[in-house]
Amino acid sequence: MLKPTYRPDLHGTEDGSAHVATVFDLLGTLPRISLDRLYGLEDLGSASSSCTPSASPFPWTCRAVFQSLTPLAKQYVMRLLCLPEGVRQSCLKSWVEPRFFTGHQKAVQQLDRLRILLSSEDEDIEEDEDDRDGGHGRLGNGKGRPSPRYRLNGHFRKNLQAALTNQLAGPWGVGRALEEKAAPDAALPPSLPSEELETYMCDKWNGVLHYLVGAEEAGFPDPAEEVKQFLADTGMMAVPEEEEGEEVEGEVEGEGGVVLMEVEGKMGKEGKGRRHLRITNAGINFLLKDVHLQVWRFVAYVIAHEAASRDEILTFLFQLSYCAVGRPYPVRALSPTQQALLEKFISFGLIYQDDRHSRHFYPTAVAVNLIFGGTVQEERLRRGHGHIRAEGRENRKELRLVDPSQLAVIVETNYQLVAYTSSSLHVEMLRIFTDVRCRLPNVVIGFITRASVRRAMASGITAATILSFLKTHTHVAVRTGKGRLLPENVEAQIELWHQERSRVKFEEVMMIDLSSLMVEEFEEVRTYAENLAVVCWASRRRGGGLWRQKKRRKRGAWGKSGVPRGGVVSASSY
Amino acid sequence: MTGKGGCDHELFSRGKRGMFTRKGVLVTCDVPMKQLIKHLDPGNRAIIQDLDETHLFVDANAVSTIKREIESFVDKHVYAPTPDEQARSGKPGR
């Protein structure tokens, strides 16, 4: 079994440094063949035999990818959609005004990275029916053509067209009246109200978080073995050093990847691991994140773990994001790998199933919003206003990790924080960056102090994380008012405290004395090094250079010219 | 220790290609911080070279000491009311 290559970044500057932030970032790193497969290379022999053409998963993938593009890139795709032969690069370039050329470059880069836009230069490599069709229309087949052509990836084009033109009812063909009639055994059970699913999801996910902080509280059963495995493997929970000796017993059972597949057998033993594992800094950081980011972290972990079936997992995710919450979907439409995946998703509350052998499953809101939800949330926070959310369950449109009726925070201008909550999980979360002064049955009062914030920052939490956490959980009374979610002074102060920590920067560098170089030579050397992005500091007057150590060997190219005047170039960050 | 015009070659080792090189740590900070670091090291033992207003080139071994000293210096100059004071006066705790 694959050992995860995943190493948590305990002192990470940003949480994103340790893993890809969204599914689309991940797509950009995939090999070309993988992307082609996602776009429908194996359309005919596709995953599940029961798949009717209308239930093909690829249009969903293409549609999701299309939605993630920048507006300009979308524009390009739409223009090229009906042009199998594509256009010349020069023609594409002429679509934008020269002053927006950087935007054009970015769009083309993005399309190229996602392998949507193919350049005729590398066309010879991949030849299949679609490409041939495009190839015939080309002039001069080969040498002497004025400018290479751009065209859309054939599979992508076909499936995006399908997604846009067909009246696709829903992933896996659900919702097509025709199909339901044709297969009476697939008669669907009634839809579930989405609030019910949301409560279910909240309970599940809160169970995970409770386990993470080790809060003992009734009503939250221990999470499944996968969950523990995930938390341990990502370094969010670890065995404290003093207990290292006893670790063997608790850890071994979780070690083999095989255990991931069998849940039931392990359910009885969960008591053991719990004693040994404690939350780490990475875990604390994770705790304060938005639910979509948390779930994505889990999914990214699953993808990294099961590299062999990565494509199928991704396809499944894209389809999920076009599902309707509360609607049943047939399990048999999934491939065996995806069915195995279903179990994992159930243990995290992404998906609901009546019982394990039920023929249908219900995606919850988190699963549906997994791909696009996170970005929406971020954007809203950036704009600085939260959603007005009424207390009543019916009015809540969007999922919230911790039920807002449970955690509602008011931050006062004197740095006093009042949190209405009865859950010890919330108290644990607040304790990370506040001095909790007293706890009453339904209220927690604390202070945000320099010491408490610095303590949080020392464990790798950024000001942004704290602020977004506070903003996400602001009390309804504050939300409905016209004022800011947080007092301006508190917000600014937390950021100042953060900056205080980075007031002095240390970088390990190599200083090179270039004082004997001529002025022109020195400039040449400096330009060369700047192009390699290895210069930290350079000064002609001082005649020295600091260069990043990693790239040192490249100096040979200019080092011959003699001895330097001065400058400083840097090494990897300290 | 260093003349204004260039580097003191005694501090550098001569590389393969005849260049003078030296490993160390580049400290980037604001102007007052730099003065503080210089103040902390009156004998210029840690500071290899004073690069400009916001940059210092220091010995790698001194980094942890510098970090610690800065921390304690900053902590000394912060007013943090006790939580009781804070609650009573309603003043922000800085």
Strand order in the sheet with A443-447: A408-411, A416-420, A443-447, A435-439
Contact B6 A435 (CB under 8 A): no
Domain containing residue A460: 393-501
Q: Are A304 and A7 in contact (CB under 8 A)?
A: no
Contact A415 B93 (CB under 8 A): yes
Domain containing residue B57: 9-77
Contact B6 A515 (CB under 8 A): yes
Q: Are A174 and A322 in contact (CB under 8 A)?
A: no
- Identify whether residues A212 and A335 lie together within a single domain: yes
Position A115: which residue type? R
- Identify whether residues A246 and A201 lie together within a single domain: yes
Contact B6 A513 (CB under 8 A): yes
Residues of B in contact with A490 (CB under 8 A): 92
- Identify whether residues A430 and A552 lie together within a single domain: no
Distance of CA B92 to the CA centre of its chain: 30
Task: Evaluate whether residue A18 is within a structural domain.
Answer: no
- Identify whether residues A313 and A266 lie together within a single domain: yes
Task: Evaluate whether residue B87 is within a structural domain.
Answer: no
- Identify whether residues A319 and A450 lie together within a single domain: no
Task: Evaluate whether residue B4 is within a structural domain.
Answer: no
Residue indicated by tokens 């207990």: A243
Q: Where a domain ends, among A363, A383, A403?
A: A383
Q: Which residue of B has its CA nearest to A506?
A: B27
- Identify whether residues A54 and A35 lie together within a single domain: yes
Token digits of residue B11? 């501090």
Task: Evaluate whether residue A176 is within a structural domain.
Answer: no
Q: Where a domain ends, among A122, A140, A168?
A: A168
Contact A509 B24 (CB under 8 A): yes
Task: Evaluate whether residue B84 is within a structural domain.
Answer: no
Q: How many domains does chain A have?
A: 4
CATH number for the domain harbouring residue A526: 3.30.70
Residues of B in contact with A506 (CB under 8 A): 25-27, 63, 67
Interface confidence, given as ipTM, is: 0.75
**A132 touching B (Cβ < 8 Å):** no
Residues of A in contact with B23 (CB under 8 A): 508-511, 549, 571
Q: Using CA atoms, how far apart are residues A564 and A545, in angstroms rounded to an integer?
A: 9
Q: Are A213 and A278 in contact (CB under 8 A)?
A: no
**B11 touching A (Cβ < 8 Å):** no
Task: Evaluate whether residue A12 is within a structural domain.
Answer: no
Q: Using CA atoms, how far apart are residues A282 and A280, in angstroms rounded to an integer?
A: 5
Q: Using CA atoms, how far apart are residues A493 and A437, in angstroms rounded to an integer?
A: 20
Q: How many domains does chain B have?
A: 1
Residues of B in contact with A560 (CB under 8 A): 17
- Identify whether residues A497 and A512 lie together within a single domain: no
Residues near A174 by beta carbon (within 8 Å), at least 6 away in sequence? A188, A327, A328, A329, A330
Q: Are A180 and A186 in contact (CB under 8 A)?
A: yes
Residues of B in contact with A513 (CB under 8 A): 6-7, 9, 12, 19-22
Task: Evaluate whether residue A10 is within a structural domain.
Answer: no
- Identify whether residues A292 and A416 lie together within a single domain: no
Torsion of CA A212, A213, A216, A222, to 10 degrees: 0
**pLDDT tens, chain A, 574 aa long:** 333 333 333 333 333 334 556 677 777 777 777 777 777 665 544 444 344 444 567 777 888 888 788 888 888 888 888 887 778 888 888 888 888 888 888 888 888 888 888 877 655 444 443 444 444 444 434 444 567 778 788 778 888 887 777 655 666 655 544 444 444 444 556 677 777 777 777 777 777 777 777 655 555 666 677 777 787 777 777 776 554 443 333 333 333 333 333 333 333 334 444 456 677 777 777 877 777 778 888 888 888 877 777 777 888 888 887 777 777 777 777 777 778 788 778 877 778 877 767 777 888 777 777 777 655 544 444 444 333 333 333 333 344 444 444 678 899 888 889 998 887 778 888 888 898 888 888 889 999 988 888 888 887 788 888 888 888 888 888 888 777 888 899 999 999 888 888 788 888 887 777 777 777 887 888 788 777 777 777 776 655 555 554 333 333 333 333 333 344 443 333 3
Task: Evaluate whether residue A313 is within a structural domain.
Answer: yes
Q: Using CA atoms, how far apart are residues A488 and A477, in angstroms rounded to an integer?
A: 17
Q: Where a domain ends, among A443, A470, A501?
A: A501
Q: Using CA atoms, how far apart are residues A526 and A514, in angstroms rounded to an integer?
A: 10
Task: Name A418's bridge partners.
Answer: A410, A445
Q: Are A374 and A292 in contact (CB under 8 A)?
A: yes
Min Cα distance B26 → chain A (Å) is: 5
Min Cα distance B42 → chain A (Å) is: 19
Residues of A in contact with B25 (CB under 8 A): 506-509, 574
Residues of B in contact with A413 (CB under 8 A): 92
Query: Which candidate from B20, B51, B80 shows the least CB-CB separation from A542?
Result: B51
Residues near A116 by beta carbon (within 8 Å), at least 6 away in sequence? A65, A69, A77, A152, A153, A156
**A11 touching B (Cβ < 8 Å):** no
Contact B83 A447 (CB under 8 A): yes
- Identify whether residues A401 and A268 lie together within a single domain: no
Residues near A321 by beta carbon (within 8 Å), at least 6 away in sequence? A60, A64, A367, A368, A369, A370, A371, A372
Q: Which residues of A57-83 are buried (b: 16+ CB within 10 A; e: fewer)?
A: bbbbbbbbbbebbeebbeebbeebbee
- Identify whether residues A530 and A467 lie together within a single domain: no
Task: Evaluate whether residue A67 is within a structural domain.
Answer: yes
Residues of A in contact with B7 (CB under 8 A): 511, 513, 515, 542-544, 566
Contact B92 A489 (CB under 8 A): yes
Residue indicated by tokens 């659900």: A174
- Identify whether residues A440 and A550 lie together within a single domain: no
Contact B86 A506 (CB under 8 A): no
CATH number for the domain harbouring residue B38: 3.30.70.1220
- Identify whether residues A405 and A531 lie together within a single domain: no
